[in-house]
Structure 1
Amino acid sequence: MITLPRTPLTGSDRPDPDTRSRSRSRRRFARRQWLRRWLVWRYVIGSVLLVGLTVAGVWLVFLSSALTVKHVDVQGESMLSQQQVLTAANVPSGAHLAQLDLGAIRARVAGLAAVKRVDVSREWPDGVLIKVTERRPVAVVELNGRYQALDEDGVLFRSYVHPPASLPRVVSTAAVGTEALAEAARVVAALPSGLAARVDHVGVRGVDQVTLTMRSGSTVLWGSDAQSALKAQVLVRLLAQPARAYDVSVPGQPVTTPR
């Protein structure tokens, strides 16, 4: 192998330092220009994508048939039928889910006497869910020969042909208001089961005018629903002594009327 002698570079052959510096400056300038253009285009592309996504979203939610009402589900009903709730709700089939007036649907269902609370929500992508909480009867009210269920708030919400034997009976008149009926309901709820079994019916003539008629024929002046738990304890002790009437309206000073 023959090795040729290396010829040393002369001054004229070496790269000019100024030339190298200008070359590096041009490259840096080109990179800065490219970055500036990319930043501008990045914002343009991002804006275009954002507008496109917004338009697509509006079309999907408000214009397309993909997110329209196709079914309505009901939960929590027992006394009411599902069809009664659906009829009251009157949710338009095929309506756009996002445009539904949930408040109006809620108000219509709440108009059913047996409904205590109702919640209406969207079930994406194509459903509506109606959850109802029905009123719970605590007694049966006899008004002008008709029997109606009474809840703990004093609301009458359904009729009976025959009063259920499992519910205590409240006797009143049509002139008695909701507040007095609610008071009677709270008295009924406060009676322990053993005492409630001895009560034939609860009478109410107005606020603070609640009486009990016992199966034995004795009457009890109860008064208001205040201190009902204490009144019940006092009455249980008094019933050990048969009497024509008992007054526990002031439980600390009960009064007994002998037969």
Structure 2
Amino acid sequence: MAERAEAAARRSRRAFARRQWGRRWLRWKPVLATLVLVGVVAGAVWLVWFSQVLAVTAVRVTGTDDLPSAEVLSAARVVDGTPLVRVDVDSVRSRVQAIADVREVTVTREWPHTVVIAVAEREPVAVVDIGGRLRALDQEGVVFDSYRSAPADLPRVTTQAGAGREALEEAASVVSALPDDLATRVDHVEVATVDQVSLVMRDGRTVAWGSADDSDLKAEVLVAMLEDAQPSPGGDGPADIDVSVPGRPSFLP
């Protein structure tokens, strides 16, 4: 009997100890879970923000044809070894966008180690002489690249003294609206003001264009009128043309 009583007492003490441990575990379980979670978060933060595990090892430039990739990389100033998440893509974009030849740029992170800089270059629609230098003019009226001699496939733009950025924008809009077969017949574009743009054709006649408004319609009207080789009053060549009001085009006296 005594032995059975002692065994029952031992079982009772073990059961009591298990209950005590269960109650303690219930109290400590949320604390331990919190500590584990904090550790995981801290490890992840260190891994992403401070370690070299996800650091920059390459910068890839895409979309460049005439613009050297080395110039883009120099402007971007992305430092190898910088944790990828800490690369300021907006600042990189602004620095690359400041390059005159760049029309648009997108900067993205390509995990785990690469920064990708996608560039859209400006495309020339004309050549403009500024201060004795031949410069490229894009469709937005932005002046960028330089030429030693004017490319034969681009119309020239000449400006009068005092013609500003808005006048160049008008000229670029006019040139961009010319269909290819018409553009090849233009010797150069003269810009006096934003409302006084003229085309000088390769055959010697002048076309009063006015502003860049309705340039697509003006181009259609001009193509039709160029087929009518009406002589000038002096009889020394075809007459000049006025399409500044495309609804009422005319040959100039």
| Band the TM-score falls in, shorter-chain normalisation | 0.7 to 0.9
Quote the residue 2:229 is aligned against.
241
Secondary structure in structure 2 of the residue aligned to 1:130: strand
SS in 2 for 1:138: strand
Change (3 A) 1:203 1:47: same
Contact 1:142 1:148 (C-alpha < 8 Å) held by counterparts: yes
The match for 1:95 among 62, 82, 97 is 82
Using the alignment, how far apart are the partners of 1:112 and 1:225 within structure 2? 27
Cα pair distance change 1:217/1:148, threshold 3 Å: same
Please name the residue that 1:256 is paired with: 251
Quote the offset at 1:125 in angstroms. 2.0
| Mapped contact 2:229–2:239 kept (Cα < 8 A) | no
- The AA in structure 1 aligned to 2:241 is Y
TM-score with structure 1 setting the length: 0.81
Could you tell me the percent identity over the aligned residues?
52
Q: Tell me, what secondary structure is at the counterpart of 1:162?
A: coil
Aligned match of 1:78? 65
- Match of residue 213 from structure 2: 226
Contact 1:69 1:93 in 2 (8 A): yes
- Say whether the 8 Å CA contact 1:143–1:173 is kept in structure 2: no
Match of 2:229, as an amino acid? Q
The aligned residue for residue 171 of structure 2 is 184
Match of 1:211 among 198, 215, 227: 198
Give the Å deviation of 1:250.
Answer: 0.9
Alignment of structure 1 residues 1-259 onto 2, 5 Å: 39-173=26-160, 175-239=162-226, 240-242=228-230, 243-258=238-253
Alignment CA distance shift 1:99-1:225 (3 Å): same
Could you tell me which runs of 5 or more consecutive residues in structure 2 were left unpaired when the two chains were aligned.
1-14, 231-237
Secondary structure at 2:193 match in 1: coil
Task: Tell me the amino acid that sits aligned with residue 158 of structure 2.
Answer: V
Find the aligned partners of 1:201 and 1:178 in 2 and give their Cα distance: 18
Q: In structure 2, what is the Cα distance between the partners aligned to 1:150 and 1:32? A: 85
Alpha carbon RMSD of aligned pairs, Å?
A: 2.3
> Moved runs in structure 1, 4+ residues, more than 4 A?
29-39
Q: Which amino acid aligns with 2:80?
A: S
Partner of residue 9, structure 2: none
Q: Could you tell me how far 1:241 is from its partner in structure 2?
A: 2.6
AA of the residue aligned to 1:170: V
Q: What's the offset of the Cα at 1:85?
A: 0.3
CA offset at residue 33 of structure 1? 8.0
Is the 1:143–1:174 contact (alpha carbons within 8 Å) kept by the matching residues of 2? Answer: no
Contact 2:129/2:135 (8 A) holds in 1: yes
Deviation at 1:42, TM superposition (A): 3.7
Larger Cα-atom Rg:
1
Aligned residue identity for 2:143:
L
- Describe the superposition over 1:131-150 as per-residue Cα deviations: whole angstroms up to 9, x where unpaired: 11111111111234321111
Cα distance change of structure 1 residues 36 and 117 upon mapping to structure 2, 3 Å threshold: farther
Q: Distance in 2 between matches of 1:39 and 1:208?
A: 83
Give the residue type in structure 2 aligned to 1:250.
V
Contact 1:144 1:173 (8 Å CA) reproduced: no
Amino acid aligned to 2:249: P
Letter of the aligned partner of 1:251 in structure 2? P
TM-score norm. by structure 2 comes to 0.83
Query: Against the structure 1 CA distance between its residues 32 and 180, is the aligned structure 2 distance closer, same or farther, given a 3 Å change threshold?
Result: farther
Cα distance change, pair 245–32 in 1 and its aligned pair in 2 (3 A): farther
